[in-house]
Structure formats: C-alpha cells, structure tokens
Structure 1
Amino acid sequence: MELLVKEQQQVASESLEYPLFRTKKGEVPLWDHPFLKGSKVLPQKYYPYTTIEGAIDLYRRGRIDDTDFILLKVLGDAICANEDQLRRYMASVMSPSQTSKRLDKFRTTGLVERWKVRIRGQEENLKPPAPFTLGIAGFKLMKHYYNEDFFMNPNRWDDIGVGAIKRYVAMNELRCLMTEKKVISKWKWNAVLANNHRLKFPLAAAEIKTAQGNVNFLIDRAQMNQNYIGYFRDKLNSWVKIYQHYGTIPVSDFQENQSFVIIFASTLTVAEHLHSELMLDTFPFHVWVCVEEDLLQEGLNTAFYRPSKEKLQRLMLEF
C-alpha cells in the first residue's frame, strides 16, 4: 500500500512538472507518454553468449545465417525499434512472421533483447509492439564485423532506460516511413556538425531527396517528460553560431546541401508550445516541426509545419 501511495505521488509530481499535451483526438501519444515504463524480458531458455569468440562461433557453426546477419545489422543501425518497425524494415527480405520468429530465436543466445513497455495504470489495456535492442552477443558480433559503425552497447540501457527506448522507437517511425517512401538517401545518428565533436549534435541527420534537389534534415525529438524547451533553446542557440560562421549548418560526411532543422514533436500542441516559447521563426536558419500525430494519421507529406510569427503554417510537401 505504501509503495502504491509513493507511486501515485510520483505520478502527480510528474504531471505537475510536465503537463500532458494531447492529440487532436484528446489522446496522449504512446511513445511520448510521461508514464510509460519498461523493462527487459528474458526468455525462459536463456543461454547468452558474452564473448566475441562465442558470438562468432554462432555464425561459424551455422546457428545463424547471412539473412540473420541482415536482420541484426538492421536492428543495430536502428538502435532500438519495435517489432512492427523491424517487420517493415525487413519486408523486402522476409515475411513479417519470419522476422518475428528470428527475433524470438535470437533472444535465447543474447543476440537481441526484448522490452516490455506499458503505461503505468493501463498495463492490461494497452500492449504495444515490443521494442528490441541488440543483446551482448549481437553487439559483439556486429561490432566485430562492422567495426567503424556505431552500435549501442547493451550495458548503456541500464542507465538511459525507457526514456531512450521511446525516443528511438519514435524516431524510427519517422525513419521507417521515409525509407518506405524512398525519400531518404542517408541517415546518421548523433551526426557531427562542422567536423567538430564538441559541438551540440542533432539526434539524427538525414539526406532527403526532393524534386528541387537533396536537402539535409537535422532531426531531434521533443519529449514531454523532459525539459524540452530548455533542451532546444540551448541547442538552437548554439547552432546560430555555426550558421553565422558557415552560412549554413554543415553535417560531417554529408553532401553540402541546404540544411533544415526538424523538431519531431508527438502532437501539434507540443509543437505550438515550443513555438510560443522559442519563437522558432526568429532563428536565421530553417526550423520546421514534424508532428507525429499527423505523420501517423495523414501521411509523411502532411506532417511538417513552418513557423510564421505566432502560428505554425502547415506544409504540403512533395518528396
């Protein structure tokens, strides 16, 4: 009983500190819900391989094949994606059921880890597709064969937890839709700006194909249970200095395309709050907002807004 009271007090405190912003339908989006909780779920038969030698041996002895490698690489590149997204990423390679069967098989040897996420107080009512991350064996295997690429060390999830899980799942929905629409030619997490690792970086950068030529999107996520106003105020102001020096915001290892800063917000109300607090139209570079609820309900080309004085002006883009 005492634990329940403490949890209720925590929920009330979080509600006061971070107000809930709702969609046009009056809902709080799942992957931006402040009361989302999550934990790893281990399979009943669990024999994880924890060394490079053991992970390589899985491949050498034929326990995983080249198609398994593709799925592991796709998950590693996504950092964290839910089962539905992984099925869509792998649609050209295997059926949805095959993707699910392979993921389930991977869990027993520690190649991947499955997460259970629920909204506190609604555990039985809402059961979203399970997020997956690389396990210790999958991490060691991918890092051995693709040493130059970034893969999330599974030990880090103990520290960054469900907040990072929902951030990456949300971002992967945008990434997955862009991939399905064939408008994306390059994607990089935590992209370096102006060849300077000390500068604040976007959560991801993407090279986008348009009828007028390619452009670079610098994408970052606003989350309700964080001080996203302060987060974006600091980041955008730091990028003003880069823009003043270069006349653009150059992304290392990307073509010198025109750059657009994209704030990915779960609801239009979050986006409007950001604009009212930060006056997004006053920055010298392009700042657009991509609204997740529009993305899911009406499609990618309807989800972008351009700040204009006191309003956000909805765009109809032709990718």
Structure 2
Amino acid sequence: MWDHPQFKAILRLPKGFRPALELTPALAEFYSWPEDIQEARLTVLTVIGDAICANEGQLRRYMISKMTASQTSQHIEYLRKKGFVQRYKCIIDGYNDEDGEPIKINTPAPINLGPAGYLLLTYLNSARSYMDAEAWIKGNGSSMIQRFVAANEIRCKFVESKIARSWSWYPSFADDGFRRLKKPMAIMGVGEDTEFEDSRAWMIFERAQLNQNFIGYFKDRLNLYRYLFDKYGYLPVRNYPDDGEKIVVISCSTVKIAEALQEEIGLHKFPFTIWVLIDEWFDTAEDSTDITKAFASPVKTPTGYVLRRFKVNL
C-alpha cells in the first residue's frame, strides 16, 4: 500500500466543513475551547505536525499515553471540520468495482495539518517549521503521503519498543557548503551514554518510492555519502557528534527491491555501514514481527555478496 506505484490519496472534506483560513479566526477558534479541551487538541495537533503525515492508527498509538484511541479520533474529527487537519481516502488507481467506481482500501486514513493547523502551530511555535497545507496540493501529494506514513510506521515501532531516543526529519549536513545538498529523510538516535559505556548510534534513513527511479535515486544518495565520508572520514550531520557511529539505513518495501539494490549498486562497496530495513518483514499481516528483526546487510559468500537478514541488538 505505502509503496504501490498506482496509489492515490484523495482529500475528503467532512460534513459541516467550516475552515478557519486565516490566523485571526484560527486563534479565535482555538481560544474559544475550554482549557482541558484546548490542551488535548493542541497535543493532537502538535503530534500531527511533528509526524508531518501519519495515518489515524499511528496517531492513536502516538497518543496512547495521553488519551484513549477513541478520544484521539474524536479530536481529529472535530479538528477536520474547522480545517485544522486534513484526512484522505486511499485508492489504487485502476482498481475499480463492478460499477467502475474506485475501491476504497481498508487502511487507516492518512492525516496531516490543514490550513488552520499550520497557521496555529506556526504562530505558537515560531522556532519550529511545519509542512504547509498547500504543499500537499502543489506537490506530488500522494507520493509524499506514502513516504511519510511508511516512515512513521518505522518511527512508531521504534518508539513503542522504547529504542528511539530521538528522531529528526531532514537533518542538514554539518558544513555550510552543503546546505544546497538534498537532506536525508530522517535521523534516529539510539543507545545511551552512561558512566560505563557510550552505546549511542544514529541511523540515517533514506527512502524512495516505486513510482520513481529508486535505483538511480539510491545510487546518487550513496555516492553523495561516499563523497562526504572520503572528505571528512565520517558522515557530517549538523548537531550530531562527528565521532558518533552513523549507519545509513535504506528503507524499502520488499525483499525483491532490497535484492535489486544490492545487485545493481553493491551496498558492500561503500566505506560506511549500510543496512536495509524491509517493510514486509515487520509491517504486513504475513510478517508483523519485531522491527529489530527486519534488517538486512551485505555479507560475503563463496559466490559473492548477498543480503542476509539479522536482528539489531539495541
């Protein structure tokens, strides 16, 4: 689903849709709520803004320590009507019923900030940046939704496993000369720095969709990493220690894609550690195992290098 090349996300407006399209009415609506409701809805909005785009099931899981799943959904439904968040119907283009109508895919609906939510959070948290609601219309919104929902499943599982210590979207390379270079999708910190051991490491995530030239995309990205590594002796990411262990993690949907990457690019040829994280090993009905068992890395065999599955000990 989250890598299908014919995937389409269609914006669905709720009944009674009365959006706040400017900052003043958005603030007026926000400050009209009772204090406890205001706090709860702002928490939901902040989580959605931080996730960029996540499906409703993921948002319920993110919010589980704050409220019940049904409460999360109730807040989302109210916020939709006021234009604070947006919800989408998912279809596979060309997959129609006997009447020629698109068949809705039975999956939790993707949700992101609407115009009022973007205005409110940007005003209340001016030091943070959020995805403008218009970006989902002007850009390739369906592919963006696929990308972020897939990434949030990874993030959500690592949070639930109490492994993730930090997560940042689109970290910058730590050199002013590299500001124009395309940023990685995300970086996640794991491990701890204790009195006895520094077990910290940082996973740098990259992901491409099937509806793009994913072989060419990853080849370009890995060659960029090679250039940086050859120049500095490490992967320089802003606000992360130069000597900290950094692992490039390629996120892909299937084993076949991972094997194609190894065959076409040769992941073993690069001077830094590369792992592959495979969706179908942790995010399908057939295999919903512990995400730490969903990794593979290139290993040498008598017939050449192949990808072999392994469990990450974190």
Cross-structure match for 1:62? 33
SS state of the match for residue 64, structure 2? coil
Give the counterpart of 2:200 among 210, 214, 239.
Answer: 214
- Structure 1 unaligned regions, length at least 5: 1-29
Cross-structure match for 1:25? none
Question: What is the RMSD of the two structures over their aligned residues, measured on CA atoms?
Answer: 1.5
Cross-structure match for 1:104? 77
Aligned pairs (5 A) from 1:153-192: 153-158=132-137, 159-192=139-172
Question: Structure 1 residue 117: deviation in Å?
Answer: 0.7
Distance in 2 of aligned mates of 1:198 and 1:185: 28
SS state of the match for residue 140, structure 2? helix
Q: CA deviation digits over 1:72-99, x for unaligned, max 9?
A: 0000000000000000000000000011
Cross-structure match for 1:41? 12
Give the counterpart of 1:225 among 211, 216, 232.
Answer: 211
The question of 1:132 aligning with 2:111 is answered: yes
The question of 1:318 aligning with 2:313 is answered: yes
Cross-structure match for 1:19? none
Q: CA deviation digits over 1:51-85, x for unaligned, max 9?
A: 11111112222265111111100000000000000
Q: CA deviation digits over 1:81-122, x for unaligned, max 9?
A: 000000000000000001111100001110000011112315
Distance in 2 of aligned mates of 1:102 and 1:62: 12
Indicate if the aligned counterparts of 1:207 and 1:254 stay in contact, CA closer than 8 A: no
Question: Structure 1 residue 145: deviation in Å?
Answer: 1.1
SS state of the match for residue 103, structure 1? helix
Amino acid at match of 1:71: V
Q: Which piece of structure 1 moves more, 86-95 or 148-157?
A: 148-157
Cross-structure match for 1:194? 174
Aligned pairs (5 A) from 1:1-319: 30-62=1-33, 65-120=38-93, 121=95, 123-124=102-103, 126-158=105-137, 159-195=139-175, 196-209=178-191, 213-256=199-242, 257-296=244-283, 297-309=288-300, 310-319=305-314
Aligned residues: 290
Q: Which piece of structure 1 moves more, 264-273 or 57-66?
A: 57-66
Cross-structure match for 2:99? none
Indicate if the aligned counterparts of 2:91 and 2:104 stay in contact, CA closer than 8 A: no
